[in-house]
Structure formats: structure tokens, C-alpha cells
Structure 1
């Protein structure tokens, strides 16, 4: 048997034997509060559409208008003919809102993170990352020419022990961690980086739009301004894509040398047009964040006495169950009661911390959350 076939077969067999096999489900309206799967309807608690914009009709109309003006695709990379007035307007809206000189657009948060580390880091640099940073950051760090160190999750003292004034450091953390829903101590991390003449990069994929008075995210909430801010449009903005916010010189550097930017087809201008409208919606419709706060209170009051409940100030509500089999069973029992939740298992989370990753979105209702609570209690009572 050819080596590739045997390698693939072995890896798939081992994954199944470990009970960690993943599968995709064909769903309808997965970006709404009620989704359909195989003819059944479920209350959706697995979407990252935190502000409920993915099916917002005003945003849909904006994308349709963008299509009528710009057509479907960009046709080329940004450095050729793929950069339009729609892209320029989106960049301007982001820089004005978030207080940076430049915004560099990417097709996804994964590519933005990879581009950032691959382009910025050299062999003489030291990269220090939170141990729970996203896979895109960890992979880019491991494959970059820089020396990479990892500090214990949100552990300020451990970070201090790894950094010094002599080396050229880049410290990278997430604003909100996707599997735990907790926030990075950005104020303390910024103080450490400044004291050691280091740069700070924050990936705020799960904080932007959700946190802060204007939805400016983790940095607005913590009143910090990192040298580099990565935001994504696939969560609270209800669409897709990403941007790196930075100063003018760093932006110029990325547009010259970031291969993920230079050699990738630009996002469709109609998408950039709609995203500019999404930026306005996020800032102006604060009721969406207020609704999330209300739902969080209902969730806490309903489930705080159950083992596995974790308090967070974000829309991500991990319910930690421990074993993979238990997490799968509870998720299955919840679906039997019309609740769509997803079991998260290793290697996505550490062994022994399998969980339900429950997410709240602004298009849910208090009754939806109470129904989730009843289903979860019933599933756990059946142990």
C-alpha cells in the first residue's frame, strides 16, 4: 500500500478508536436562532453570530446593493486590480472606529494571523504566546524563524519571567479565548510589554463587536491599544474575512511583504461594501450587546448551581464535563430535546476538559435559554 494511503488509514482509525472522530452535519439556517437538520428544528446554541447579524435583513440588502454595484468577485489580488473603493472605505471605517492608521484586509482570521507572524518575525526575535492561543497563531509561531515561548494561560507572573529588555519580543494573546470564553488581562500584559520595549499583538476575533461601549472589543473594554490588533468578521459582524489594525509604517510593510495579502485574491468588493455597513451597525445598535448581557444573566441564574457551569463575561459559555464520551452523550441528549449544542473534545481542548461550547446570540430569547437549561439539567440527571 502506498505510504500516503497507509498513513491516512492509520490516522483515521486511531482517531475513531480514541472517540475523537469529527463529522460535519448538513444544516439549514445554521446562522439563525433556529436551525434545521434532517427535518427537525433545534434552538441553536453553537453559532458565533454573537450579535445576530448573519441574517439581518439590512445587512443582506447592503450586500445585495454591493453586488449590484461591484459584481460578484474582486477579480485579482489587492496589488493588481482587486482593491476597490469599497475596500478603501471599509479600511477607513475600521481605522476611524478603532483608532489606528492602517487596516489591512484578509480573507480569514487564520490567514491574517499567519501573515502577521510569518511577515513580522525574524530569527533574532522572540515570540511569546499565551498557551491557549488559536491554532493559527501557534502554527505560525512554530513555523516562523523566531524562537517561540509560551506562558501559562493568563499568567502574568509567568509572562514576566519569560520577557526581558535585551531581546526583541512580540507578545501575542487573544482578547477572548474561544473555548473558555474568558478575557485576557490586557492591561497588565500591555504594562509588561511597554516596560520591556516589546510589541503586543491581540487577536480579538471573539471580543470585537461584543465587548466595549461601542463594540470596540477587548481593547476598548480594557482601555489598551496594542501595536497590532487582529479582528475578524466571521463572528459578531455576521460575515467573513479579517483585518490587521496597525500604524502606517507597519501597514505599508505588510502590504509589501505579507504573502497572504499580496498573493491572495482580494475579498469581493460587495462583501467589503456590506462589511462597512456592519461596522456602523455594530457601533450604533448597542441594544444587541444589551441583549447579550440580559441572556447571560438568565443563563447564569438558571445553571449556576450545576457542576460544570463556568462564569464568563462574554457570549461563550463553556460547560465543562470532563470526559469525551460524557460530553458527546450530553450533547446528544440535548439534541433529543431540541437543543443544538456542540461537544468539544481533545485535541481542541486539553484532555479531561471536554465540554459543551454554548454560545449566546442576540437573536435568541430568554425562553430559549430557559429551554436550554431544562434540557441540560435533564441530560445531566440521566447519568
Structure 2
């Protein structure tokens, strides 16, 4: 017999989410996650994936995956620290280090794991973390796990960051102080002010930590936001993902050799979780090869992102302050945002509503994610649907 208290909690909580327009329905894809997807037998233009460069379905990655599985097997068979480290893992880490222009790299099972691992391996209850108020959930959870004092600063407000850093430093309460920011903020598409952050960090001896999940493969000729600002030698931690522009799954931390050595000794996801399977590692490696040798996909991504953003702006939609291909369409009310997403779906455009707690209440939006794989015709069709539905719902 199940717990009555649990049943009551679940029933009331789920109903509350439905009433407030915050209940999310998970859709199932019938096939690959490309520029066009199939759901319930319908073909839809896909604007909700993180597959920025379209590499998730690239034949070169698929072929590398198949070859590695045939040679090395389906799984790695152990954690990295026992005998789950194959030459493929080492080769990928060395290649990524060359790509990122850092001394060393450690690969994890996901970008989320990176933040859970790296922050808590270095920071503890004697330390403080200055964290941008719009940082990703994985950063927030990683900070909590570390038990350090978390001091939030206003989003990209350098005056507030400097004041908070000054007060934390002069208090004498903390052994170490870290400043953490996303490189690209995933809900708004704006870029962190890394040059200013680095200057403040150097003034107050702060450890610098950049989660570049949405900058990897997009900015800095694909090497990310830190490379975009030419700050590779002034950032202590660079977090990257293998799950978005790279097109596969996983994450990594880039930094000095001594830092990576420490993470291999003390970061818990590395120590206690089976390593990524050979097929995944090989396809990631093939993807990095493409990025290191060809800028065509990155150029196409930006071309498509600018085209969609300009088209929606001309229609009168609020696309926020995005500086990247991420194109939010801010509606506001949560229920209206869900209704809007539903109408887009009915007209052949898959663009999911993003609601609280992912974004603040009252800022519900459709987050459009154009990729290098979209054609101009697809994007023009999307803009046309946005115009028709927006006028129908009196949003424009």
C-alpha cells in the first residue's frame, strides 16, 4: 500500500501546476532529432533542440560510432579510475585541450555532471561563490553541493559583482572566493561580460569559472566564449558540453594540468560513475575534428539565427537582448505562452514553451533554436506561421 501522504502531495502538486499553466507534457520523437521531426505521425519544423550544428545526425559521427562499438564494445565496463579509461577517452581529452588551447581536459558523462563535480571538488564550507543570478540550474546545484556560501550578483551587473567581491574579500571570512557565470545564457541568448569579470577577479584574487555549454561550438570559431574574448590563459575553469553543438552527449572541464589532476582524484562523478561508452567518445572526437577543420557549419548557424531573429523582430515580437542564435520570443503570461506553443504545433512548428521555474514568473517565452541544418525555406515558413498565429491571438 502506497503512502497516503505521498499520494496527496503528488495529486495536489500536479493539479496546481496544471492550473497555473506550468505542467509540461513530454513529447516522443519518432525518428532522429533533426531540423524536421516526427511526433504522433506529423512532420514538424524543429526549433527546440540544442543540436546547433546539425551534427547529431551527421554521417561522419554515425560511422565513427559504429566503428568504435564494433572494436571496443557497447560499454566502457568500469569507472575511469579502475579500467574504464580507453585510449579513445585519452585521445578525445588531448584533442579537446588542443581545441580549447588549455593545458588539459577531463571528460564527464554530462555537462550537468561537470558542474556537480568541479565546483564541489574545489570549494567547501570555508569558501564563497559569487554567482550570476541567471546561472543554469546545474551551477546552482553544484554550488549547493559544495556547501560554500553562495552570493548572487545581479545579472551581468559588473558594479554589483565588484561590490560583492569587495565585501566578501574584505570580510576575511573565506579561504577562497570563486566567481561563476554562464558564457552564454541559455534563456536569453546574451553573452557574459567576461573581460570585465576577469578584471574584477584579478583585482580581488577570485577563482574564475565559466560554464560555456551554449558557447561551445558557437562562439570563438567553435572553441567557445572564452576563446571569443581571447581569455584562455586568464580563466581557471572552462566547462564545455558534448551534448549540444558537438551533437552527442557528455561534458568536460578545461584548465591547467594540476587542476585536472585534482579533479581526477577528487571529483565524485568521475570516481563513482561508469565512463562514457566507446561509441559516444568516438563520435564526439569526430565532431571535434569537424569543428577544428571547417567553419562552414558555424557560419550557417549564425546566418540562420540572424535571419530568424530579424524576421520575428520585424513582426513585432520581443526577442530580448540575444547576442547569439538563441532566439527567445517573450510572451509573458504562462497560460498564453503554452497556448501559443500549442497553436504553433498545430501549424507545423515545434517550439516549446519555456516557463517558471526555468525562467522567472511572468516571463514565459518560446525559445527558438535555429540550427545549421535548417534551410532558408524552413525558417521563412516558421516566420509566416508566427505572423498568422500572432495576429490570431492578438500578440502582434
TM-score class normalised by the smaller sequence = over 0.9
For 1:172-321, list aligned pairs within 5 A.
Answer: 172-213=180-221, 215-225=222-232, 226-305=235-314, 306-321=316-331
Residue 34 (structure 1) aligns with: 36
Give TM-score scaled by structure 2 length.
0.94
Question: How far did 1:30 drift?
Answer: 4.9
Question: Following the alignment from structure 2 to structure 1, what is the Cα–Cα distance between the partners of residues 41 and 14?
Answer: 30
Residue pair 1:300, 1:311 contacting (<8 A) in 2 also: no
Match of 2:107 in 1: 105
Cα shift at 1:144:
2.3
In 2, the alpha carbon distance for the partners of 1:18 and 1:7 equals: 17
Question: Could you list the per-position Cα deviations for residues 100-149 of structure 1 after superposition, in whole angstroms to 9, with x for gaps in the alignment?
Answer: 22211111111110111121112221101111111111122123221100
Q: Residue 319 of structure 1: SS of its match in structure 2?
A: strand
Question: Which residue does 2:87 correspond to in 1?
Answer: 85
Q: Secondary structure at the match of 2:128?
A: strand
Give the stretch that moved more between structures: 281-290 or 234-243. 281-290
Query: Residue 107 of structure 1 contacts residue 242 of structure 1 at CA under 8 Å; is this kept in 2?
Result: yes
DSSP 3-state at the match of 1:304: helix
SS of aligned partner of 2:147: coil
Matched, 1:370 2:380: yes
Which stretch of structure 1 is more off in the superposition, 29-38 or 315-324? 29-38
Q: Mean Cα displacement is larger for which, 264-273 or 77-86?
A: 264-273
Cα deviation, residue 312, structure 1:
2.4
Name whichever of 280-289 and 309-318 sits farther off: 309-318
Alignment-derived partner of residue 151 in structure 1: 153
Structure 2 regions of 5+ residues with no counterpart? none
Q: Give the 3 Å change call, closer, same or farther, for CA 88–317 of structure 1 in structure 2.
A: same
| Residue 333, structure 1, aligned to residue 335, structure 2 | no
**Matched pairs, number:** 382
- Name the TM-score, length of structure 1 as normaliser: 0.97
> What residue ranges of structure 1 are gaps of 5+ in the alignment?
none
Alignment map for 1:350-369 (pairs within 5 Å): 350-369=360-379
Distance 2:112 2:337 in 1: 27
Q: Would you say the 8 A contact 2:20–2:335 is kept in 1?
A: no
Distance 2:321 2:146 in 1: 36
Query: Does the 8 A contact of 2:77 with 2:274 survive in 1?
Result: yes
User: Within 1, Cα distance between the matches of 2:159 and 2:281?
Assistant: 41
Query: What RMSD over aligned residues (CA atoms) do the two structures have, in Å?
Result: 1.3
User: In 2, Cα distance between the equivalents of 1:140 and 1:58?
Assistant: 34
